Amino acid sequence: MRIVHAASEVVGFAKTGGLADVAGSLPRALARRGHDCAVVLPLYRSVRHGKQPIAPTEHVLSIPVGNRYVPGRLWRSQLPDSNVPVWLIEQSEYFERDDPAQGRSFYQFSMASGQKLDYPDNCERFVFFSRAVLEALRLLDWWPDVLHSHDWQTALTPVYLQEVYRHHPNIILRQRYEQIRSVFTIHNIAYQGLFRAADLMLTGLDWRLFNHRQLEFYGQLNFLKSGIVFADRITTVSPRYAEEIQTPYFGNGLQGVLSERRDRLSGIVNGVDYDAWNPATDSLLAANYDDETVAVGKAACKAALQKRYGLPEEPRTPILGMVARLVEQKGLDLTVKAADALLNLGAASGNQAPWHVQLIVLGEGDPVYHRMLQELRERYPDRIGLTLGFDETLAHQIEAGADIFLMPSLFEPSGLNQLYSLKYGTVPVVRACGGLYDTIADCTPEALARGEATGFRFVAYTSAALLVAVQRALELYRQRPDQWLQLMRNGMRKDWSWNRSAGEYEQVYQAVVRAEA
Ligand code: ADP
Ligand code: GLC
């Protein structure tokens, strides 16, 4: 099959979170399974100055946005180590403003106070991008069976396909567009792309669509909802999350529309790119190791990490690691609230000699969490390592050097870090929701005996429940090193490769290609 992916992030080019990992890895995995894939991405500043070579093409765009035509150009690159083309949409005013040093990301900028705000023209930026994706197909004369779009930034593509391009005045082109089926993936329902009603003018879409069963959401224009309503098939990034988002607690107001379309909704857990995330070959680590050599290898990575942060280099001091966007979703309030008790778990261990716990956090996001974590580090300078920023090398080193990986998420559509952690022998402690529920098997004595346990789960979103889970983990870590080793190995031997997930996407594509639009 021929599949084009439209996304606002692709790893190797532009990344803020897991979406980039998916948009970079899934097309490659599909290509390895024999499909013809391409990816479309905005040409951001970081792409222009990034490591991947890019080249201009002769194809120019002119995209209607509101009452004007906005020019653009197609550039070309490739996913690293593959033949998968990446088509870059150049529109420098919209897309080349990102600059981490100035606090400007792909979607937001920072105020002097540190507060982050969405760019005021996000609506028109991603209207432009979504239409440009459909125009690019015509310019390239590259007609896919499936147009697979990701998250709110590209959620209007199924709407344009249905409302505009399947009615193209040119009959040949109309037939081409009519053949394309749309698949839309929700990576995170908390980000919907909500804009003022008047912004509908920017889309060029008919006001008839602005009703509560289609594009409208409590008086506003909602991109994500539009994608959900118009796509031929909807997927999200775990089976559990597919269920959760049909309930008021997780649905963020879209539970109704999702329940109505549940016959077209499915959940597929993300995979891991083991070319990039494998401790046996990872060139960013102090030592390489596999499931046989993990004890020695991890000890070396752990010592290097302690040294990097100036923490006491004690081999038996457990390190809790965290790598996350610092936003409400990631359970930072729980972590900070539990921190005093957590860091002192070893102080109250009865007649044993007291021991310590170290915590290492890498992340970037909401200034509230930056301050909370900084304050914590000031109180425990010899137990906490903190990096506020985006650092891919460090992300790998923390995965390898930590003993335990914390993901106490309020919600977690799929999560990739727990899967990286499994491969790196870093035992995840997770809140049992979304993809964390689907991928981590709790370490009960029975599950451990059966060789199935891979981590520790808790249910209630409270710091007390988090603490109990960490306590359970540390008891095993301290008292039963043999069982701990077994637990690490169970996780390391699991196969969460993209090939498995790509096979599931293939089934979705096959079903939608067979079905009538
Ligand atoms: P989400 O997509 O919600 O951020 P995931 O677990 O799916 O969560 O993916 C997060 C991805 O982003 C992982 O690849 C993780 O290593 C990476 N990441 C998050 N924050 C940082 C950071 N500050 N520095 C480097 N990598 C980060
Ligand atoms: C979102 C989710 C995360 C998921 C990622 C990629 O950012 O928060 O759970 O893994 O998308 O699908």
Q: How far apart are CA 224 and CA 238, in angstroms?
A: 18
Structural domains in the chain (count): 2
- Which bound ligand lies closest to the C-alpha atom of 190? 2
Is residue 83 domain-shared with residue 178, that is, in the same domain?
A: yes
Q: Quick one: 246 and 317 in the same domain? A: no
Considering every ligand atom shown, identify the ligand nearest to the alpha carbon of residue 237 and give its number.
Answer: 2
Is 316 domain-assigned? yes
Ligand located closest to 151 CA? 2
Q: Is residue 180 part of a domain?
A: yes
Q: Can you give the pLDDT of all 517 residues of the chain as single tens digits?
A: 999 999 999 999 999 999 999 999 999 999 999 999 999 999 999 999 999 999 999 999 999 999 999 999 999 999 998 999 999 999 999 999 999 999 999 999 999 988 999 999 999 999 999 999 999 999 999 999 999 999 999 999 999 999 999 999 999 999 999 999 999 999 999 999 999 999 999 999 999 999 999 999 999 999 999 999 999 999 999 999 999 999 999 999 999 999 999 999 999 999 999 999 999 999 999 999 999 999 999 999 999 999 999 999 999 999 999 999 999 999 999 999 999 999 998 886 566 778 899 999 999 999 999 999 999 999 999 999 999 999 999 999 999 999 999 999 999 999 999 999 999 999 999 999 999 999 999 999 999 989 999 999 999 999 999 999 999 999 999 999 999 999 999 999 999 999 999 999 999 999 999 986 5
Do residues 219 and 108 both lie within one domain?
yes
Identify whether residues 99 and 244 lie together within a single domain: yes
Judge if 318 and 260 occupy the same domain. Answer: no
**b or e along 320-355 (b: 16 or more beta carbons within 10 Å of the residue's beta carbon)?**
bbbbbbbbebbbbbbbbbbbebbbebbeeeeeeeee
- Counting ligand 2 atoms within 8 A of each CB, the residue from 16, 21, 148, 188 with the most, and so the one to mutate, is 188
The pLDDT of residue 132 is 98
Residue 282, domain member (yes or no): no
Please tell me the distance between residue 10's alpha carbon and the centre of ligand 1 in angstroms. 13
Distance separating alpha carbons of residues 512 and 517, to the nearest angstrom: 8
Q: Cα(482) to centroid of ligand 2, in Å? A: 33
What is the distance in A from the centroid of ligand 1 to the CA of 18?
6
Q: Say how many Å lie between the CA of residue 423 and the centre of ligand 2.
A: 18
> Which of ligand 1's atoms lies nearest the C-alpha of 407?
6
Name the residue of 11, 16, 21, 412 to mutate for ligand 1: max ligand atoms within 8 A of Cβ: 21
User: How close is the Cα of 55 to the center of ligand 2, in Å?
Assistant: 30
Q: Which amino acid is at 183?
A: V
**Which residue puts its alpha carbon closest to atom 4 of ligand 1?**
17
Residue for token pair 């070309």: 76
Is residue 465, in this structure, part of any structural domain at all?
Answer: yes
**And the tokens for 313?**
């280099």
Protein residue with least CA distance to atom 20, ligand 1: 324
Ligand 2 centroid vs 411 CA: distance in angstroms?
A: 10
Q: Are residues 326 and 259 in the same domain?
A: no
Q: Are 95 and 73 in contact (CB under 8 A)?
A: no
On whether residue 277 sits in a domain, the answer given is: no
Residue 281 lies in a domain: no
Query: How close is the Cα of 101 to the center of ligand 2, in Å?
Result: 25
The answer on 209 and 341 residing in a single domain is: no
Statement to judge: residues 262 and 366 lie in one domain: no
Q: How far apart are CA 164 and CA 471, in angstroms?
A: 57
Q: In angstroms, what is the span from residue 464 Cα to ligand 2's centroid?
A: 26
Quote the domain boundaries for residue 88.
Answer: 2-271+499-516
Place of tokens 């409270």: 462
Q: How far is the CA of 320 from the centre of ligand 2 (A)?
A: 22
Q: Do residues 506 and 455 share a domain?
A: no
Q: What is the residue with the minimal CA distance to atom 1 of ligand 2? A: 187
Specify which residues 70 forms β-bridges with: 63
What's the CATH number where 249 sits? 3.40.50.2000
Q: What is the pLDDT of residue 351?
A: 63
Residue 327 CA: which ligand is closest? Answer: 1
Residue to substitute in 5, 15, 19, 433 for testing ligand 2 pocket (most ligand atoms within 8 angstroms of CB): 19
Please indicate, yes or no, if residue 288 is contained in any of the structural domains.
Answer: no
204 belongs to a structural domain: yes
Residues in contact with ligand 1 by the CB-under-6-Å rule are: 17-19, 21, 323-325, 362-364, 390-392, 395, 414-417
Same domain as 9, residue 135:
yes
Q: Does residue 184 sit in the same domain as residue 324?
A: no
Res 393: pLDDT: 97
Helix (H) / strand (E) element for 157: namely: helix 157-163
107 and 201 assigned to the same domain? yes
| 15 dihedral zone (left: phi>0; alpha: psi -120 to 50; beta) | beta
DSSP per position, 35-81? -EEEEEEE--HHHHTSSS--EEEEEEEEEEETTEEEEEEEEEEE-TT
> In the structure, which protein residues have their CB atom closer than 6 angstroms to any atom of ligand 2?
17-19, 22, 187-188, 237, 270, 412-416, 435
Ligand 2 centre and the CA of 178: distance in Å?
31
Output the furthest CA–CA distance in the chain (Å, rounded): 83
Looking at the CA of 236, name the nearest ligand.
2
Instruction: Give the model's pLDDT for residue 354.
Output: 83
